[in-house]
């Protein structure tokens, strides 16, 4: 994958992956800010700003005009907020690339933040919080982060709380926005059928006079927990939801490729150990999987299962047995080969659209010291050895490091707690 790394005079970095094999162009503006940058009393601020930028700008004063700008040419636009990154993107037919550039740069340079829109959006986000709470599998993601990182911004929900929403007003929004949104804290990336010589002047005309500042600080992650932590939410629902978590690795850790392969072996896909054992052999869960969360200075490995509440303890016991098997026995060569091919294949398929190619270079530009090509990443996965997996297992998986979140008709959850504490 060939990319061009161009820096404007104000130090704004523009990453371009031109390819005329596509009929489209995707453009994203990737801002290095998210929930972990927020004080507890303003939790949800980054997400609130993401919403507000689609409510009105100087050039497009209404939400309707913003929606029609890209929809009106058959394109897609959206945004999302995470713990560390907020992203705004648009995907359009190749001939409409200038519309995407004008649209996204207008969102970031000219937001109105009107009092009426802030009041309205506070209610809308409140309903979003309620919706997540009413979806136990989604709410579990919020709870496990609170368990992993209590009293720390990493444990705060991206959407905030109903209490913190009340504190978010126009002065707070504009102050936070001005601190985080500038060329010193974001990158622009494009992928698809475009001419770099044509798009650079268009971007420069709209963003070249934007002064850069120092990036905002964030509170460093605490060391991994040395005690077992858990939270049980007793709810009268039909299905039980379990999430078992372990400390993971930071984004740029050299063992992150081994961690991806380990995660694949454990719970990514229908041929993973957890799926075959918990669902196919024992019938203990409809859904069971594992995932990794890589952050700037920490991370987590999580296992999720949706279970019959009456068999929740049995399902958790079976998960713990699979983790112990990893600790007690080396990975067979054939299983390691299958996991590596799975990871490499998924990575290749994931790069088959213009947005994912733009995101590939953008995230590395924000968080890594150098941008690896897909070929470099494939080689890094191929180089993962069974010994590297075993060393990682020894480092990360230990009973004293477990954190547990559970939602369902579990009462105090004594049977679940006993399994991870004894």
Quick one: pLDDT at residue 399?
Answer: 84
pTM of the model as a whole:
0.97
Alpha helix segments (H runs only) across 33-159: 45-52, 63-71, 97-109, 115-133, 136-148
Q: Residue 61: which of 69, 70, 73 has the closest Cα? A: 69
- DSSP class of residue 41? G
What is the number of alpha carbons within 13 Å of residue 124 lying toward its C-beta?
Answer: 13
Quick one: pLDDT at residue 226?
Answer: 82
Do domains 4-207 and 229-421 share one topology? The answer is yes
pLDDT in tens, 83-96: 999 999 999 999 99
CA distance 304 to 140: 9
Cβ atoms of 43 and 156 within 8 Å: the answer is yes
Quick one: pLDDT at residue 302?
Answer: 98
Residue 266 tokens read as: 């454990």
Its sign, for the CA torsion 175, 178, 179, 181, is positive
Q: Does 50 qualify as catalytic in the annotation?
A: yes
Alpha helix segments (H runs only) across 220-353: 256-267, 273-274, 312-328, 333-350
Question: Using CB atoms within 10 A of its CB, is residue 238 exposed (0-12), middle (13-18) or buried (19+)?
Answer: exposed
Q: How many CB atoms lie within 10 A of CB 47?
A: 25
Cβ atoms of 162 and 129 within 8 Å: the answer is yes
Residue 168 neighbours by CB under 8 Å, 6+ apart: 42, 44, 45, 48, 118, 122, 160
CA distance 275 to 267: 6
Quick one: pLDDT at residue 224?
Answer: 85
Q: Residue 34: which of 26, 22, 45 has the closest Cα? A: 45
Q: Which CATH number fits domain 4-207: 3.30.450.20, 3.30.830.10, 2.40.260.10, 3.20.20.70?
A: 3.30.830.10
- Catalytic: which of 50, 84, 146, 322? 50
CA distance 384 to 391: 11
Q: Where are the domains of the chain?
A: 4-207, 229-421
Can you list the residues of the chain whose pLDDT is less than 70?
Answer: none
In the three-class reduction of DSSP (H, G, I as helix; E, B as strand; rest coil), residue 419 is classed as helix
The arrangement of secondary structure in 229-421, i.e. its CATH architecture, is 2-Layer Sandwich (3.30)
pLDDT in tens, 316-355: 999 999 999 999 999 999 999 999 999 999 999 999 999 9
Residue with tokens 């990893």: 326
């Amino acid at each position: 994958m060939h990319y061009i790394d161009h820096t404007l005079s104000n130090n704004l970095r523009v990453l371009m992956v031109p390819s005329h094999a596509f009929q489209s162009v995707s453009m994203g503006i990737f801002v290095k800010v998210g929930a972990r940058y927020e004080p507890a009393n303003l939790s949800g601020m980054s997400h609130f700003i993401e919403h507000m930028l689609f409510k009105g700008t100087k050039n497009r004063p209404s939400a309707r005009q913003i929606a029609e700008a890209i929809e009106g040419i058959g394109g897609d636009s959206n945004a999302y907020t995470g713990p560390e990154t907020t992203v705004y993107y648009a995907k359009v037919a190749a001939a409409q690339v200038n519309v995407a550039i004008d649209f996204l740069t207008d969102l970031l340079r000219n937001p109105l933040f009107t009092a009426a829109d802030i009041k309205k959006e506070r209610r809308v986000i409140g309903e979003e919080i309620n919706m997540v709470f009413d979806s136990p599998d989604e709410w579990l993601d919020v709870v496990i982060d609170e368990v992993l990182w209590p009293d720390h911004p990493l444990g705060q929900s991206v959407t905030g709380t109903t209490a913190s929403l009340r504190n978010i007003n126009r002065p707070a929004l504009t102050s936070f926005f001005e601190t985080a949104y500038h060329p010193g804290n974001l990158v622009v990336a494009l992928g698809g059928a475009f001419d770099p010589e044509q798009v650079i002047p268009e971007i420069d005309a709209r963003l070249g006079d934007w002064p850069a500042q120092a990036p905002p600080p964030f509170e460093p992650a605490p060391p991994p927990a040395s005690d077992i932590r858990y939270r049980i939410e007793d709810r009268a629902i039909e299905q039980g939801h379990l999430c078992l978590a372990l400390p993971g690795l930071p984004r740029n850790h050299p063992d992150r490729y081994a961690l991806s392969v380990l995660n694949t072996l454990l719970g990514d896909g229908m041929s993973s150990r957890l799926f075959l054992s918990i669902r196919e052999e024992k019938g203990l869960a409809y859904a069971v999987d594992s995932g990794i969360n890589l952050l700037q200075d920490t991370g987590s490995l999580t296992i999720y299962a949706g279970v019959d509440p009456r068999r929740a303890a049995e399902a958790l016991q079976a998960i713990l047995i699979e983790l112990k098997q990893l600790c007690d026995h080396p990975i067979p060569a054939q299983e390691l080969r299958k996991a590596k091919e799975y990871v490499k294949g998924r990575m290749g398929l994931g790069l088959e659209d213009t947005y994912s190619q733009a995101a590939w270079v953008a995230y590395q530009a924000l968080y890594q010291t150098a941008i690896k090509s897909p070929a470099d990443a494939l080689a890094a996965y191929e180089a993962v050895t069974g010994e590297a997996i075993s060393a990682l297992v020894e480092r990360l998986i230990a009973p004293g490091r477990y954190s547990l979140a559970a939602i369902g008709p579990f009462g105090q959850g004594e049977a679940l707690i006993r399994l991870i504490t004894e």
